Amino acid sequence: MQIRQQGRQTWLFDGPLGIIGQAAVAGPREGQGPLAADFDQIFDNLRLKQDSFEKSEQKMGERAARAAIAKAGLTPDEVDVFFAGDLINQITPSGFTARSIGIPFFGLFSACSTATEALSLASLCVASGAARRALALASSHTCTAERQFRYPNEYGSQKPPYSQVTATAAGAALVAAEPAAVKVSAVTVGRVCDERISDPFQMGAAMAPAFADTVQAHFRERGVDVDYYDLVLSGDLGRVGQAIAQDLLQLQGLSLAQEQLADCGLLLYGGDKRVFSGGSGCGCAAAVGFGHIYRRISQGELRRVLLCATGALLSPVANQQKESIPAICHAVALERGE
Amino acid sequence: MQIRQQGRQTWLFDGPLGIIGQAAVAGPREGQGPLAADFDQIFDNLRLKQDSFEKSEQKMGERAARAAIAKAGLTPDEVDVFFAGDLINQITPSGFTARSIGIPFFGLFSACSTATEALSLASLCVASGAARRALALASSHTCTAERQFRYPNEYGSQKPPYSQVTATAAGAALVAAEPAAVKVSAVTVGRVCDERISDPFQMGAAMAPAFADTVQAHFRERGVDVDYYDLVLSGDLGRVGQAIAQDLLQLQGLSLAQEQLADCGLLLYGGDKRVFSGGSGCGCAAAVGFGHIYRRISQGELRRVLLCATGALLSPVANQQKESIPAICHAVALERGE
């Protein structure tokens, strides 16, 4: 298969690069939301019978990975390379999942944009001939991330209305050079953007410029019309970030229609007020993109979607050291396969 | 250029895949060691005029990245993609370097094996045609890593003699599809290995099985003779880990000669007793591999080296939760270019 670089950031795949297996799993709150029917597994509690939340997150990611492989009628031994990441220090849930499933492993960190970083690199491995099949996974868990970045949920501390809540979810996608109902047609690699926002609750505002930058680069470099995509889907900008992103795109001269824009962090919870501005976390774009969106494309409801997972590359230490919040967004084009 | 997958884990690059720029920078202790002449920059103190050690690490990585690009006669704008990682939570030094140099960025976490993960993926991007030039970077700093994983150095806490010390160093390599003095000829992607060691000071012993697993896979899949490489260089097993690795390779039937084996963590410090069993950290294999080893290959002292950076995928939280230490090793073959 040929890989064509267009411009600096965009890769086009000329050939059948199919998602031959996928899975999305979710926690109890996500399982009660509008996307419930698109999850392969919904857990009725946050523990998954593990003695720590970190182990619960690992188990959840592992379930998604194994389900995606099984749905393709394969075993982990038949997958050549595995790209995964999460929000936890030293990405231990992903590392332990790699230990458990035994697939040669590349660990990633790109905060909540991990889903599309993983799918980009998995697609590159297969399209280039370096791997027959490659697996992409991203996960997050509200109890591990909230206590690491902010406060344990059990403290019940107040959050501002523009804040977001980490999703308990994981999504996996298995790529091979075969025709499938959904194919990966293009990737745009993101650059780090930083508009000097330093409030760690202002994630949507911090990530919106990165989303706009990558979407602009994608349309410019791929050279497609403004109406090419049925949906240009941000990862987890939430209500606040999405409004800013829309303004930015307009100001920069890219006039996407209102109905072309949606956000994984809003789709996942509908209007649930308990998540404030919306959901976030690596598992958010992974579960919505590889679950809900995959299903809608495969059933013909959507033809072409640009999945743009967004990540805020902050850490609690960097924040305490008065650093602003750099953000990034990687885009993957998913299209109806032949 | 053609990429050939051999076996499950190994990629062969058939074409001129050259390292067209490289740089290694180091802190004061490393700069007094036997490899001093191979560093582009040696810092006379650990601060680099920054107000936190995390910012010092970021500055150090950025210096290595910029030096590698400059030595190729290029500017950051002429590099299409950047792979980097470090040991710090949420890899903020790498993320902030990506913000500063502006190259489209994929963040990695693979602990001390980051140097070869980054170089593997940078090589894949260029060889596949997805990027014209790709930059790989890895860094570590003794003051950021020791305080995050163990205790601040200022506490002066005792360490056992089999422990290692995080190197203050960074290494960068710039890859392009051009002939150069040193080329990347093959990659073997590592699997996670875990022999249930849980003492976080026993890094060498925890990582030795991963090194042996990847080296075995490489020789088996690439199908080269046991004397093909002048050097099979482990990342940072230290004295203790290297002895275990040698035993493991022997037991598994791969009889490399004594002089074919060396360890970056030992080369970097010579016999310096202050680093106990040897050096470690993402910057160790990066600075030794992309600095010292690059120089020796380019000058004809070595013809072929298998650089096998090793990483321990633990976190302080996982360790407190009684998890054992999973480890991984990615191998990159560096050879004299045409």
Q: What is the DSSP string of B111-169?
A: GGGHHHHHHHHHHHHHHHTS-SEEEEEEEE-HHHHHHHHS--GGG-----TT--EE--E
What does R_g of chain B's alpha carbons equal in angstroms?
A: 18
CA distance A168 to chain B (A): 19
Q: Please count the residue pairs, one from chain A and one from chain B, whose beta carbons lie less than 8 angstroms apart.
A: 188
pLDDT of residue A127: 98
Structure tokens at B253: 């039937």
Cβ proximity of A1 and A177 under 8 Å: yes
Residues listed for chain B: 338
Cβ proximity of A264 and A234 under 8 Å: yes
Q: Which of A302, A230, A308 is nearest to A264 (CA)?
A: A308
What does R_g of chain A's alpha carbons equal in angstroms?
A: 18
Cα B179 from chain centroid? 23
Instruction: Tell if the CB–CB gap between B106 and A111 is shorter than 8 Å.
Output: no
Residue A146: strand, helix, or coil: helix
Which among A90, A102, A107 has the least Cβ separation from residue B191? A102
Which single residue is written with the structure tokens 């944009």? A113
Q: What is the rounded CA–CA span in Å between residue B39 and residue B167?
A: 14
Q: Show the low-confidence residues of chain A (pLDDT under 70).
A: none
pLDDT of residue A271: 85
**Checking DSSP bridges between strand B165-166 and strand B2-6, what pairing results, if any?**
unpaired
Q: Where in chain A is the domain with CATH 3.40.47.40?
A: 17-176, 184-336
Instruction: Tell if the CB–CB gap between A107 and B107 is shorter than 8 Å.
Output: no
The domain made up of A17-176 has a fold known as Peroxisomal Thiolase; Chain A, domain 1 (3.40.47)
CATH number of A184-336: 3.40.47.40
Chain B residue with minimum CA distance to A94: B313
CA distance B174 to chain A (A): 16
Cβ proximity of A130 and A298 under 8 Å: no
Structure tokens at B132: 């014209």
pLDDT digits (tens, 9 = 90+) for A225-252: 999 999 999 999 999 999 999 999 999 9
Q: How many CB atoms lie within 10 A of CB A248?
A: 18
Q: What is the rounded CA–CA span in Å between residue A230 and residue A226?
A: 10
Residues listed for chain A: 338
Q: Which chain B residues are closer than 8 Å to A107 by Cβ?
A: 108-110, 117, 313, 328
Structure tokens at B64: 């290595």
State the number of CA atoms in the 13 A half-sphere of B206 facing the CB.
25
Number of helices and strands (H, E) in chain B?
A: 11, 15
Q: Which chain B residues are closer than 8 Å to A51 by Cβ?
A: 321
User: φ and ψ at B173, to 5 degrees?
Assistant: -140, 135
> What is the residue-wise DSSP string for B209-240?
HHHHHHHHHHHHHHT--TTS-SEEEESS-HHH
- When scoring B56, B90, B116, B123 by the number of chain A Cβ atoms within 10 A, the one with the most, hence best to mutate, is B90
Chain A residue with minimum CA distance to B6: A130
CATH number of B2-176: 3.40.47.40
pLDDT of residue B253: 96
CA distance B192 to chain A (A): 5
Superfamily of domain B182-336: Stage V sporulation protein AD (3.40.47.40)
Confidence band for B323, pLDDT divided at 50, 70 and 90: very high
- When scoring B74, B89, B214 by the number of chain A Cβ atoms within 10 A, the one with the most, hence best to mutate, is B89
Cα angle for residues B79, B82, B83 (degrees, 5° grid): 155
Q: What is the rounded CA–CA span in Å between residue B60 and residue B228?
A: 35
pLDDT of residue A70: 98
Reported as type and span, the H/E element at residue B311 is strand B304-312
Q: Which chain B residues are closer than 8 Å to A81 by Cβ?
A: 189
pLDDT of residue A338: 73
Residue A108: strand, helix, or coil: strand
Instruction: Tell if the CB–CB gap between A111 and B90 is shorter than 8 Å.
Output: yes
Least confident range from A191-195, A285-289, B72-76, B149-153: namely B149-153
Residue partners of A250: CB distance under 8 A and separation at least 6: none
Instruction: Tell if the CB–CB gap between B315 and A90 is shorter than 8 Å.
Output: yes
Query: How far, in Å, are A165, A213, A270, A307 from residue A31 at the CA level?
Result: 15, 32, 12, 22
Which among A2, A96, A317 has the least Cβ separation from residue B54? A317
> What is the residue-wise DSSP string for A203-264?
HHHHHHHHHHHHHHHHHHHHT--TTS-SEEEESS-HHHHHHHHHHHHHHTT----GGGEEEH
> What is the residue-wise DSSP string for B72-115?
TT--GGG--EEEEE-SSGGGHHHHHHHHHH---EEEB--GGGHH
Residue partners of A86: CB distance under 8 A and separation at least 6: A57, A61, A93, A94, A114, A138, A139, A140, A282, A283
Q: How many CB atoms lie within 10 A of CB A4?
A: 12
Chain B residue with minimum CA distance to A90: B315
Reported as type and span, the H/E element at residue B187 is strand B182-188
Cβ proximity of B278 and B266 under 8 Å: yes
* Helix axis angle, B53-71 to B142-149, nearest 10°: 130
Confidence band for B271, pLDDT divided at 50, 70 and 90: confident
DSSP B252: T
pTM of the model: 0.99
Q: What is the rounded CA–CA span in Å between residue B84 and residue A109?
A: 10
Instruction: Tell if the CB–CB gap between A5 and B132 is shorter than 8 Å.
Output: yes
User: φ and ψ at A131, to 5 degrees?
Assistant: -145, 145
Which single residue is written with the structure tokens 């994984």? A264
Q: What is the rounded CA–CA span in Å between residue A287 and residue B16?
A: 40
If 0-12 CB within 10 Å is exposed, 13-18 middle and 19+ buried, where does residue B73 land?
exposed
pLDDT of residue B180: 98
Cβ proximity of B108 and A109 under 8 Å: yes
pLDDT, chain B, mean: 97
Bridge partner residues of B59 (DSSP):
none
Q: What is the rounded CA–CA span in Å between residue A97 and residue A115?
A: 16
CA distance B258 to chain A (A): 28
pLDDT for B338 beyond 80: no
Bridge partner residues of B308 (DSSP):
B234, B331
Q: Where in chain B is the domain with CATH 3.40.47.40?
A: 2-176, 182-336
Q: What is the rounded CA–CA span in Å between residue B81 and residue B104?
A: 5
Number of helices and strands (H, E) in chain A?
A: 11, 15
- When scoring B6, B51, B81, B106 by the number of chain A Cβ atoms within 10 A, the one with the most, hence best to mutate, is B106
User: φ and ψ at B304, to 5 degrees?
Assistant: -140, 130
Instruction: Tell if the CB–CB gap between B99 and A131 is shorter than 8 Å.
Output: no
Q: What is the rounded CA–CA span in Å between residue A262 and residue A68?
A: 25
